Structure 1
Amino acid sequence: MKVKIVLGTAREGRKSEKVAEYITRKASELGWEAELIDVKDYLLCYTHRWKVTPEMERYRKGILEADALVIVAPEYNGGYPGELKILLDTIFDEYKALPVGIVTVSVVTGGVRLLQELRLATVNYRMLPVGQVLFYNVDDIFEGDELKDEKYKERVERLLKTLEKYAKALKPIRDEVREKLRREEEHLQA
């Protein structure tokens, strides 16, 4: 199973980085091929829907090989970071039938407003949101790189197991979508 974990902020001192790295490590421990996609490596000023940049193509290829996606983001003013929105908007059809877990980070609310926004956005992209984990005060629940709160460990494990079930169930649809995209690309290049 291949999972991509998107770290959705490029801000200095980001608490969500620790969460994204933890989830990536836990997915790898399950024997999955887990890759962290950091938005700071894809800082685009705007979307180029008709002009594909090398960063966009690299992101697109990563999504096309994924069986599942986890988005980890902090809540910014009741929503999600602009750089995450821009990255997500660089592609569209490639997301179809991709199960997604949403992991939010916020000291006060845990990111509940962000969760609502990202759920709507992922449905619009034709992904299937299948679970979430809301992280409140990261400094209080982590000791170094490890979660010290058992409830959070259980929530992350449940999220990953749920993603795996949906990834298997949706595979025929993803395969069909990806084959169609491959044929369209070949046709455009001919």
Structure 2
Amino acid sequence: MSGVAHPVVRWGVVTEPIRLEVIVGSVREGRFAPVVAEWFVRRARHHPAFDTEVLDLADVELPHDLSATAESDRFRERIASAEAFVMVTPEYNHGYPAALKNAVDSAKQEWRAKPVGFVSYGGLSGGLRATEQLRQVVAEVHMVTVRQTVSFHQARKRFGPDGETEDGAAIDGAARLLDQLAWWADAARSARAARPYPG
């Protein structure tokens, strides 16, 4: 948990922190996802714009047939209460995990008019093909993707025993991703307050 969130000053305006959900997209046994996700979450929790939580899909039992259950209702409520998202995804066979697609499909209006960023990892591709496919999917639920991404090529070689990395591109990319996400989330918050999203 991120603790108690307090109003912050951003761009000269006092505002409530942005509720950010970092979604861990892999549920595979032996997954590397927690290392990557925890690294990114540590950076997000140091960013003054965000109140950051982690939504690990390994802990959420969403029906594959998209039927309504108590768990799927709780999932949709959590998505509805968030204002921004980061999806942490590996690349499996040139694509993203089925669990992540099921999560996107398990909500609808709850995603709309909210920004999303991507942190990917994999072999030589760094998960970038998974990210590009996800951009197409989230557009269909009316999300806005930020331009900056973070990717780890040959990810298991990029992290030390302490879960940290010396990958300068990833460190710089994470900071830029969070700044862009904060900008879009603030813009979307103001727009929603002015009038309903026409989705």
Q: Same fold (TM over 0.5)?
A: yes
* Residue 163 (1) aligns with residue 184 (2): no
- Using the aligned pairs only, state the percent identity: 33
Aligned partner letter, 2:24? L
Structure 1, gaps ≥5 residues long: 181-190
Map of 1:138 onto structure 2: 155
Question: Does the Cα contact within 8 Å between 2:89 and 2:131 map onto a contact in 1?
Answer: no
Number of paired residues? 177
Give me the whole-angstrom Cα distance separating, in 2, the residues matched to 1:59 and 1:24.
20
- Distance in 2 of aligned mates of 1:146 and 1:22: 7
Q: Verify: 1:17 aligned to 2:18, yes or no.
A: no
* Residue type of the alignment partner of 2:157: D
Answer yes or no: is the 8 Å Cα contact 2:63–2:72 preserved in 1.
no
Q: How far apart are the structure 1 equivalents of 2:30 and 2:124? A: 17
Select which of 86, 109, 113 maps to 2:102: 86
3-state SS of 1:103 partner: strand
Residues 88-167 of structure 1 correspond to what in structure 2 (within 5 A)? 88-130=104-146, 131-143=148-160, 144-167=162-185
Residue in structure 2 matching 1:29, options 34, 46, 65: 46
Mapped partners of 2:82, 2:191: distance in 1: 13
* Structure ranking higher in helix proportion: 1
Structure 2: gaps of 5 or more residues: 1-17
Letter in 2 for 1:152: A
Return 75-84 or 37-46, whichever deviates more: 37-46
The alignment yields a C-alpha RMSD, in angstroms, of 1.8
Q: Which amino acid letter does the alignment assign opposite residue 60 of structure 2?
A: Y
Question: For the residues of structure 2 that align with 1:47 and 1:21, how far apart are their CA atoms?
Answer: 30
Q: CA deviation at 1:177?
A: 4.8
1:167 is displaced (CA, Å) by: 0.4
- Which residue identity is paired with 2:34? E
Q: Displaced runs of 4+ in structure 1, greater than 2 A? A: 172-178
Work out whether 1:66 is the aligned partner of 2:82.
yes
